[in-house]
């Protein structure tokens, strides 16, 4: 493996293929797979992910916003792409690039149909999102008649799928709530198919749903964090491999005398002689200030080096008093050890946030291990 000479995010496509195969092996052979690659593929590289997943047989991609779907289309990805949060301002690129909108309200439905009619579309695929308890986006059961009547009046759209999103599929103490969401989804999907007169694809499981509620896999599942190598449980994490490794390098080493301070606001004060390394990564790269003052750490030659003082915009200083290392040595921020999950726990966060925080300033490098 190449040694980092600057801050890089390495994306291991072999690990991605492994995670895809591991997750899909849990499914019935007929269940379709939608890979969620929103937010640059959870901070990694959506295009590289998509190019790896297409030959593996992925059925669908999902992104949050239309612009993310355009990036995939520009990379010649022809697989259907669901846009989870389209906005009326993006209807134009959605139709121009054959992106498929998630429609979540009566206004969105009528607005999109009017737009599709204006563009002389026939049977343009739309996806209906139902709110079964997350209370974020979605129709409710009481909207079904309106939806069916509205869709029946036009030939411009066809309901390709109906779906919902679980609020706490990873949390087994919330099993009764999740079961209630699944029951609502069942009732909604039955009513919807009856009123539409055809059966759209149904899907409601995210990664932890696949693990904990396989009986509710319906026609398709949606996995995002699982492809990244996290299963929201220690047991699942054993079988998955984190695909992203954030690496950097030691820029300079300092010996701090007792009584001296390090960094902005003099937040660290040395009580004894302390050796520090300055690293070219800061909050502008996605290392939150919350990691400062010993909460977070990096790994140098397999050993933990805690962050000293405040995180700067472009740099952090870490304590290397106990580590033999020199300028130019490689530093691991997260990857296989520690994982993004483990590091994020130190600031009460989750891997979803840490992974997607890695800013676009950080070079992405794709590899196969
Ligand atoms: C982000 C997202 C997912 C993916 O969830 P994971 O927990 O990352 O597998 C699935 N469905 C919807 C609607 C989402 O917004």
User: Given pLDDT bands bounded at 50, 70 and 90, which one contains residue 292?
Assistant: very high
Instruction: Flag whether 23 is in a domain.
Output: no
CA of 166 to the centre of ligand 1 (A): 9
- Look at residues 228, 262, 288 and tell me which one is the last residue of a structural domain: 228
Q: Is 65 assigned a catalytic role?
A: no
DSSP one-letter string for 217-235 = -TTEEEESHHHHT--SSHH
Measured from the Cβ of residue 40, the count of other Cβ atoms closer than 10 Å reads: 20
CA atoms within 13 A on the CB side of 204: 31
191 and 283: one domain? no
Position 114 pLDDT exceeds 80:
yes
Instruction: Flag whether 86 is in a domain.
Output: yes
Position 4 pLDDT exceeds 70:
yes
313 is in an annotated binding site: yes
68 and 173: one domain? yes
What pLDDT is attached to residue 188?
98
77 and 222: one domain? yes
Structural domain for 316, as ranges: 244-367
The span from the CA of 306 to the CA of 318, in Å, is 5
Question: Which of 222, 228, 231, 355 most suits a substitution to test ligand 1, by most atoms within 8 Å of the C-beta?
Answer: 222
Q: What is the mean pLDDT of residues 33-44?
A: 98
Question: Which of 27, 167, 223, 224 most suits a substitution to test ligand 1, by most atoms within 8 Å of the C-beta?
Answer: 224
Contact yes or no for 249/221 (Cβ under 8 A)? no
Q: What is the mean pLDDT of residues 202-231?
A: 98
Q: Which of 68, 70, 106, 65 is nearest to 87 (CA)?
A: 65
Q: What is the mean pLDDT of residues 129-158?
A: 98
For residue 165, give the ligand 1 atom closest to its CA. Answer: 13
Instruction: Flag whether 77 is in a domain.
Output: yes
Bond preceding residue 253 cis, omega within 30 of 0: no
What pLDDT is attached to residue 1?
43
For residue 42, give the ligand 1 atom closest to its CA. Answer: 8
What pLDDT is attached to residue 3?
73
Instruction: Flag whether 43 is in a domain.
Output: yes
Select which of 20, 32, 38, 104 is catalytic. 38
Question: Which residues have any ligand 1 atom within 6 Å of their CB?
Answer: 36, 38, 84, 165, 206-207, 222-226
Count of structural domains, the chain: 2
The span from the CA of 260 to the CA of 18, in Å, is 49
54 and 136: one domain? yes
- Look at residues 166, 198, 228 and tell me which one is the last residue of a structural domain: 228
Q: Is 38 assigned a catalytic role?
A: yes
Q: What is the mean pLDDT of residues 56-84?
A: 98
CATH code of the domain in which 181 resides = 3.20.20.10
């Amino acid at each position: 493996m190449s040694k980092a000479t600057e801050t890089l995010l390495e994306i291991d496509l072999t690990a991605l293929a492994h995670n895809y195969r591991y997750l899909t092996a849990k499914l019935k052979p007929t269940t379709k797979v939608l890979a969620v690659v929103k937010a640059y593929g959870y901070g990694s590289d959506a295009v590289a992910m998509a190019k790896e997943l297409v030959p593996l047989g992925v059925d669908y991609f999902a992104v949050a916003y239309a612009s993310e779907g355009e990036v995939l289309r520009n990379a010649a990805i022809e697989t259907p792409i669901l846009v989870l949060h389209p906005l009326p301002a993006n209807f134009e690129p959605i139709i121009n690039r054959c992106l498929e909108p998630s429609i979540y309200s009566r206004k969105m439905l009528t607005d999109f149909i009017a737009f599709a009619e204006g563009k002389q579309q026939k049977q343009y695929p739309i996806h209906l999102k139902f709110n079964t308890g997350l209370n974020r986006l979605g129709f409710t059961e009481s909207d079904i008649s309106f939806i069916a009547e509205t869709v029946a009046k036009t030939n411009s759209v066809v309901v390709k799928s109906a779906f919902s999103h679980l609020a706490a599929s990873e949390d087994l103490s919330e099993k009764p709530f999740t079961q209630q969401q699944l029951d609502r989804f069942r009732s909604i999907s039955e009513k919807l198919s009856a009123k539409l007169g055809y059966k759209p694809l149904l899907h409601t499981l995210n990664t932890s749903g696949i693990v904990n509620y396989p009986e509710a896999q319906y026609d398709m599942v949606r996995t995002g964090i699982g492809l990244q190598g996290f299963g929201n449980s220690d047991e699942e994490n054993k079988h998955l491999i984190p695909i992203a490794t954030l690496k950097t390098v030691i820029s300079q080493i300092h010996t701090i005398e007792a009584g001296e301070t390090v960094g902005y606001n003099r937040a660290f004060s040395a009580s004894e002689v302390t050796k520090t390394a300055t690293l070219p990564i800061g909050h502008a790269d996605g290392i939150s200030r919350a990691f400062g003052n010993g909460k977070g750490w990096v790994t140098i030659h397999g050993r933990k080096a805690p962050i000293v003082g405040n995180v700067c915009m472009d740099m952090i200083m870490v304590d290397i008093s106990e580590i033999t290392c020199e300028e130019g040595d490689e530093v691991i921020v997260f990857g296989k050890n520690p994982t993004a999950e483990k590091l994020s726990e130190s600031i009460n966060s989750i891997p979803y946030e840490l992974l997607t925080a890695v800013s676009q300033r950080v070079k992405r490098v794709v590899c196969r291990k």
